[in-house]
Copies of this chain bind each other. A is one copy, B any other.
Amino acid sequence: MDNLRIDGGRLWASLMEMGEIGATPKGGCARLALTDLDRQGRDLLVRWAKTIGCTATIDRVGNIFLRREGARPELPAIATGSHLDTQPTGGKFDGVYGVLAGLEVLRTLHDAKIQTDRAIEVVVWTNEEGSRFSPAMMGSGAYAGVFPVEEVEAKTDVDGNRFDAELAKIGYRGAAKVGGRNIGAYFEAHIEQGPILEAEDKTIGVVTGAQGQRWYEVTVVGQEAHAGPTPMRRRRDALVGASRMIDAVNKIGHAHQPYACATVGFIQSFPNSRNTIPGRVFFTVDFRHPDDERLSSMDAALKAQCAAIAEQGGLELEIRDFWYFPPTPFAPHLIERVRDGAAAFGYSAMNIISGAGHDAVYMAKVCPTTMIFVPCKDGISHNEIEDAKPEHLEAGCNVLLRAILEASKA
């Protein structure tokens, strides 16, 4: 069983076939959640899984559990998966790889006629992207009890269509209750969506956890005035203050290396007129760090430094704590299985922290969880030009196979 390998060619062919559903001219994919294209993708996957003898269970928010029964069905199952929905101009790999890598594991076990002790389930989580219905990671969040089911069902898209109605329309409003399945471990294979593995020339990212996140909304208020006749020393320029704060945010990120990320992604200045001193600026801050203590230290630095800048510039300052998501360390015994798997196959590997949100982050709340990353071209995702190499996808899937096989022993 140690010589078992997945079929990289079959995995690639399945990715390409799935990518035809919602294919875009630039080689990407537009398969928004709960559209007819989403249905087509789900139908294809379920048909593939049933061909190899799996059963499909669908819960009320549309999460699909494709189960390959084990010798001891009463034991907690081993689950793997991700999502089939994409961004409006998304790629063929983000999410889809995790689902089809799981399918490829099942196909490999099927071909090799291996019966595992524990059942293995491949999961499709509904609406991970959050593009059509907000928030993101909706299906896994509902499963983990983060979002009440009724709240999810009442969500609407921009045209006012309700989530539950759209789900029913594509035939995936299932009967199973949301959450509480007997799952003993969850693995999720995913493209990195960042540039680290490629830059370090490693094939496998051993994901040790997901970064904690703190998001802020900052408002700086000064005094709007005529840019001509107002002397420098009398100004209370909100944009100058905000600019110094943005520089401070960046320096806080650099001061908390390795791992820290610090970004101002959004800014609006008022009245935004060439010859008027800005009276008010609004901007957002996105801090990420895998260690909560370091994240708190970044939080304290932000508040102290912005306050000092505001004070110096005669500006009013409001920093609103907009969102906090604590760091999620993954399960050490599963992380070791991934590391061992990479070593067994001779793949180069490195520890990595997930910076983006994934269904695995919610699953980590309810069962031992980890992820396997493979490189993606130039670190680019959420883009039609998202790309990954067949050999890397094959390697990640082999590691997933081995980790699942080990975990599935009674």
Contacts and interface: CB of A to CB of B under 8 A. Distances in A.
A319 interface: no
Contacts of A261: 227-228, 230-232
Contacts of A268: 272
Contacts of A234: 195, 199, 379
Contact of A247 (B230, B244, B267, B379): B244
Interface string A228-247: 11111110010110111011
Contact of A215 (B274, B354, B380): B274
Interface string A169-205: 0000000000000000000000011111001000000
Interface residues of A, number: 60
Contact of A264 (B225, B239, B264): B239
Interface string A56-90: 00000000000000000000000000000000000
A131 interface: no
A229 B265 contact: no
A214 interface: no
A253 interface: yes
A225 B194 CA distance: 8
A265 B278 contact: yes
Contacts of A355: 226-230
A246 B196 CA distance: 31
Nearest to A193: B229
A230 B266 CA distance: 17
A275 interface: yes
A250 interface: yes
Given A257-B232, A275-B286, A381 B226 contact: yes
Interface string A255-275: 001101111111111001111
A393 interface: no
B277 A265 contact: yes
B269 A266 contact: yes
Interface string A159-177: 0000000000000000000
B192 A229 contact: yes
Contacts of A269: 266-267
Interface of A: 192-196, 199, 211, 213, 215, 225-234, 237, 239-240, 242-244, 246-247, 250, 253-254, 257-258, 260-269, 272-278, 284, 286, 288, 354-357, 379-382
